[in-house]
Chain A
């Protein structure tokens, strides 16, 4: 039975769906000329959906008989997702204008993807989980191959689709096993069934489920698609992939691990520890040899997912709060860094992606180099930048949970990661100027970039707010 309280709980998704459909029709009838209007209206839709978030939480956490949850955790994740989706829309037009037409389907697809991500983080049942995940993924496959004429873009889309379907299959197999052995698809039901010990079948189901989710987060050993897709997809789409879907996948994993698999904590904890350390080390080592900045960011995202998972490995409220804070800070750094990468255009306005072309940027484009430098130092986890705090929180949670050795290994491995971030700074600041870039960036890009840089520099002042929000989010899972 559908009651009004349930509908209110999914109000943000309803807003996004309605907005997306209307804008899709506008685009279909109005043609490419409406792109500009559709762009801004999509951002407005996201904003309205964001404003609906507090309303959605008012009517208790459970909706649709437990299929959907609107709690502090989902609000936290959704706020991040909508904000990064909005940034991905705003950053796009200039890029697409240089490579061909600006098309209105782009923002609409992002809206639909956001609906899917909203369902993912609100899922209270394996079915909702799967539907949300597929909805997000389908839109993402199309986005990856958005520049149809571009060979790399089509290739990225196809690769993403094939590997993504495989992962969905694995995930579905895991859900089937879990359902078969526990007799329930709801997270609560599974948790109750697991309470009396974990059987072999349940363990298998859990492993398959986590493998599928690891693919979506691009955690080692299910990371293979990431570099190719990041490199091939149009840069604004890469920006999107690097931010919103990462948050959604991470939040979903956290929710499944804590709410559904909570009683089997000891079993999945070792999986998460392995995946975290492997992602940190592999992401860092593989990034060293990269010459393409988008590929480098792909490995960097693998590396960062590893750090975020350390918070989950702690399996405590503090750990979950740390993971969510990590994602919040990571999203700011990623969007900022991509806003810089989007400005890497040669004198004719064509996008450039090689790291070598950044040489001497600090002399030709002082502000841009300083901003990218801030993001790189921040991702390397060097204080006083905010990226340090993200790492601090997850390691602190691990130490508090008694995982001191994990924290020590993880933080030592972060030094490997520092090396490739330093390489970019070295190229920008120490090398002699090489490529001449376009003299000025777009206004929107500059605003987003400056906003991100300011957050990264003075972020510590936001600590009380972030602490409170992430603690509330974590508390709603336990």
Chain B
């Protein structure tokens, strides 16, 4: 793979597809889009296979550099963290195209072009090694998403599209000013160099806040999350999938790539802010989710709660927390995407998102009910599914930093079980009180093909998370080392036992016992 510009190719394929889609008829456009995203998935698999995960490997791999833009360069390169997020993107994209196969009937070519362009930009965000290139990719995503929500969205789409656009734009512009200051100070636009540069701790606070404004909106964190429910509800199904699945992860990626390594002191000083907002988000948005009558809104609020677990994990300043945050991001990307697809499946049949219009679907749609149950359980964090691994690690990490934050955030899991199981009961169980809902046919072959791969990935990630943790491990270790000097002192006072040979086995037992306890607590 030496010297082969695979990252550029991964962006060129959907770009070419997008241009072709603009000029193609409806059906051709669908096939072009599917083909382009599948080729990208294949390239992604190739990328993963060739990624050197050994401990001695270079941190940045597949680097490309072309100084063609004057003040900034086309500089690409990935580490393990970027790799897994790219994999998430290329994995979800063909599913999004498939989900729009029949649901989108007007202006198909433009729709597919917008999605493919979105894929280019998402891969660009995760691969950019030049800070301005990152900004361009990060910000450009607003254009296709604005059009997707505004053209193909629901009844209140125009309000939602404006809100999405202006909220995220206002968040990001201040980050740009901070970037300019940093580049003048450090004299380089190269992200890896900036990650190692020590900025003056007093200035770090301002820089951190400027970046925080952008990533907190993108994440989204309470109280700037209000654009998300609107955008999710109004966006078409595939738009919600990509929004929840990948776009929200850009916020978390931003924290892990910029805020933590570039401003470690400020991150530590302002950790209380992040913790506080996250605690409010976990409890408050979970309670809000509990009373929703609109399925998509419920899942949107649950996203905010899950993302709060990500932020506490990231600001735990230890490896467990950061690994957990990454795993929650991946798991949530899959699970919330799948849940939006599940909503889309029944929305396509009955054209309503009102929970009360459904009921007893397990009778007439058994296959659907099984898959929906799996994703519900994954969202709750049942052991054996992807989210368990992430949430457990993240909470374990934050416990070392602050036991109070851990206590409050863990209630999110209980509340999560409450609103998700309540949702599932109202949709799949109970009487079939609506005749039209009772007459809906079960999953079609196409829908099975959309949900089955996600189900497989969710279980894979839950049963053998090592595949996903391994590529990130050394990068997260490096990050931990970078922020270690600034890390706040924890209040949990964990005492490590003496290093007797049996300790390892004992630890393993403990781990499974705890998870068992947790699982039984949630299942009932």
**Chain A residues close to B by CB (< 8 Å):** 362-363, 377, 382-384, 388, 392, 395-396, 399-400, 404, 407-408, 411-412, 414-415, 418-419, 422, 425-426, 429-430, 460-461, 463-464, 466-467
Contact = CB atoms under 8 A, between A and B. Distances in A.
A395 B165 contact: no
Interface in B159-186: 161-162, 165-166, 169-170, 173-174, 176-177, 180-181, 184
A362 B114 CA distance: 14
A412 B170 CA distance: 6
17 contacts: A382-B142, A384-B136, A388-B136, A399-B180, A399-B184, A400-B180, A408-B177, A415-B169, A415-B170, A418-B166, A422-B146, A422-B162, A426-B150, A460-B68, A463-B68, A464-B69, A467-B71
Contacts of B296: none
Contacts of A377: 143
Contact of B158 (A382, A396, A430): A430
B522 interface: no
A432 to B, nearest CB: 11
B140 interface: yes
B157 interface: yes
A395 B177 contact: yes
Contacts of B429: none
A419 B158 CA distance: 12
B146 A392 contact: no
Given A422-B165, A463-B71, 5 more contacts: A382-B142, A396-B180, A419-B162, A422-B162, A429-B151
A317 B184 CA distance: 15
Contacts of B60: none
A145 B393 CA distance: 73
A383 B135 contact: yes
A430 B69 contact: no
Contact of B174 (A388, A411, A461, A464): A411
Which 6 A-B residue pairs are closest in the complex by CB-CB distance? A463-B70, A383-B136, A399-B180, A411-B173, A430-B150, A467-B70
B159 to A, nearest CB: 11
A407 B140 contact: no
A365 to B, nearest CB: 14
Contacts of A400: 180, 184
Given A388-B136, A463-B69, A407 B151 contact: no
B398 to A, nearest CB: 33
Contacts of B181: 399, 404
A414 B169 CA distance: 10
A372 to B, nearest CB: 14
B39 interface: no
B224 interface: no
Interface residues of B, number: 33
B190 interface: no
A399 B136 CA distance: 19
A383 B139 contact: yes
Interface string B221-265: 000000000000000000000000000000000000000000000
A392 B176 contact: yes
A418 B169 contact: yes
B69 A460 contact: yes
A430 B166 CA distance: 17
Interface in B129-145: 132, 135-137, 139-140, 142-143
B195 interface: no
Nearest to A464: B70
Interface in B264-285: none
B207 to A, nearest CB: 11
Interface in B54-113: 68-71, 107, 110
Contacts, number: 87
A377 B141 CA distance: 12
Given A383-B135, A388-B136, A430 B177 contact: no
Contacts of A430: 150-151, 157-158, 161
Nearest to B117: A384
B140 A384 contact: yes
Nearest to A415: B170
A268 B136 CA distance: 34
Contacts of B146: 422, 425
Contacts of B70: 460, 463-464, 466-467
A467 B68 CA distance: 12
B217 to A, nearest CB: 12
B111 to A, nearest CB: 12
Contacts of A461: 68-69
Contact of A429 (B135, B150, B173, B177): B150
B170 A429 contact: no
A412 B147 contact: no
A426 B158 contact: yes
B166 A419 contact: yes
Given A418-B169, A461-B69, A464-B70, A395 B176 contact: yes
B71 to A, nearest CB: 7
Nearest to B162: A422
B424 to A, nearest CB: 35
A412 B161 contact: no
Nearest to B149: A430
B177 A411 contact: yes
Contacts of B162: 419, 422, 426
B160 to A, nearest CB: 11
A395 B173 CA distance: 11
Contacts of B132: 392
B142 to A, nearest CB: 6
Contact of B173 (A363, A414, A419): A414
A407 B180 contact: yes
A244 B150 CA distance: 36
Nearest to B124: A384
Interface in B16-43: none
Interface in B449-483: none
B166 A415 contact: yes
B166 A382 contact: no
Given A399-B180, A407-B180, A408-B174, A429 B147 contact: yes
Contact of A415 (B71, B107, B173): B173
Contacts of A411: 173-174, 176-177
Contacts of B176: 392, 395, 411
Contacts of A404: 177, 181
Contacts of A412: 170, 173-174
A430 B159 CA distance: 11
Contacts of A363: 107
Contacts of A415: 166, 169-170, 173
A61 B326 CA distance: 61
A81 B157 CA distance: 42
Contacts of B147: 429
A382 B169 CA distance: 9
- Report which residue of A399, A412, A425 has the largest number of chain B beta carbons within 10 angstroms of its beta carbon: A399
